[in-house]
Structure 1
């Protein structure tokens, strides 16, 4: 939450609580009854009942008739899908990411910053299967991932240090770097060579190399990275073989819009009649 705007008179507390109800569901709470939902969302049971009823009426949650437990419906995915439809960075990058994926044969990701994390907004899987599930929407910490370090390295040092200080710098694997001075040194190295590295620090055995994506003003707005298994790659090979391709892909995304022909396969939107509000408008026209 952006704490800087919460105190303003325009903030709608009830809407925020409704979102808290949706976000209360996770891998450990796939279904909840009203008391559990109220506790998870930090609201009263009566408020949970009102929000659950409203969300059920809108089709975002469903209630089991026997257990009286609520769970999310696939309609929730539409909220995230709308972002992917309007994300201009993703639209611009997709054709180049696909080509990079074809060239290197490994998984290519694009992620964008949110707080102290990076969130996958696009993914092109490699030819070899990975033993860990990393779907679009997955949130990963900046401090120990190639994509996150690429983004941090593109920030002013003070801004990067502030994010590192707020991060939960836990040790995910034996190679995870957690101390701020050492992390700042890694970021300095990334700035010097133009790309970042991660040696299985979030998931053991997963090697990563990443570069930042900049907007027209030269500000970092995203990162792209290539992931490869340590059974097939070393960090030296990634730098020798993948880094040049990754750097060229970054250059193209930042400087050269894709041709309409290359971009067209990625412009997949909703049919107008499936968008709420447009269906009635179409009927009125007829």
Structure 2
């Protein structure tokens, strides 16, 4: 894309602001828009035209054009020479990789996750909270069939997953309620629990047992057992979970045979990160 092809915004163009919102002198709206453009690309929007970028990010076409132009110059976006549609480049992965490389929790957890996979013979993962979701940051895959592929960077809701509920179970009640209300609590399958009262009851049980489970509430055939990872202040910072596909496990067997190992793994990681200060 050449500089001549970029439309210049008029001097009087109003910024994309929310009416009635108090301006923040330190907040950089251009950076916000640029990040919004990067986040707009997904499995559902692998490529986009300029009008589609503007629509997906709720910004003006001229703003979208400036963002796309800048991101293309920086190497994070490219335009297909034939279709003229934009897509992300591999350079975007560097941003996420830098977080993974700098996260000491992942370094601490990896040996424990590896051992958990060896002990259980099943796939294990570490997830960290991000808003009302859990983010996959580490994963050890077993040689057996796993019904759902969840690569690093995948996100899952807290309210209907074992890792999310494990994290929630270690939080104070008021924080739990706020996070649950922040979720739409969609019924992904016929087994999904969406009622806040029912979820809070499950969290109470998780606190007593030290772990929680999820049976096909997000994906059919998928079942997991999870426990929270706690820092030195006894605050949850992550969750460990093991995948127990319904093709190999009943819930009773998974809880009896896998839960103790998951709890031990989470405790081991928790104790290790406390020694790091």
Unaligned runs of 5+ in 1: 1-5, 258-286
Instruction: Quote the Cα distance in structure 2 between the aligned partners of 1:44 and 1:165.
Output: 31
Match of 1:168 among 175, 184, 198: 184
Instruction: Quote the Cα distance in structure 2 between the aligned partners of 1:247 and 1:45.
Output: 51
Aligned residues: 254
Match of 2:215 among 199, 207, 218: 199
Instruction: Quote the Cα distance in structure 1 between the aligned partners of 2:24 and 2:127.
Output: 31
Which 4+ stretches in 1 moved above 3 angstroms? none
Match of 2:90 among 63, 74, 88: 74
- Partner residue of 1:117? 133
CA deviations on 1:20-50 (whole Å, 9 max, x unpaired) are 1111111121111111111111122222221
Q: How does 1:1-286 map to 2 (within 5 A)?
A: 7-256=23-272
Unaligned runs of 5+ in 2: 1-21
CA deviations on 1:78-133 (whole Å, 9 max, x unpaired) are 11000000111111111111111111111101001111111111111122122322
CA deviations on 1:54-91 (whole Å, 9 max, x unpaired) are 11111111111222111011111111000000111111
Aligned-residue RMSD, C-alpha? 1.6
Instruction: Quote the Cα distance in structure 1 between the aligned partners of 2:179 and 2:209.
Output: 22
Q: Tell me if structure 1 keeps the 8 A contact 2:54–2:61.
A: yes
The structural deviation recorded for 1:7 is 4.6
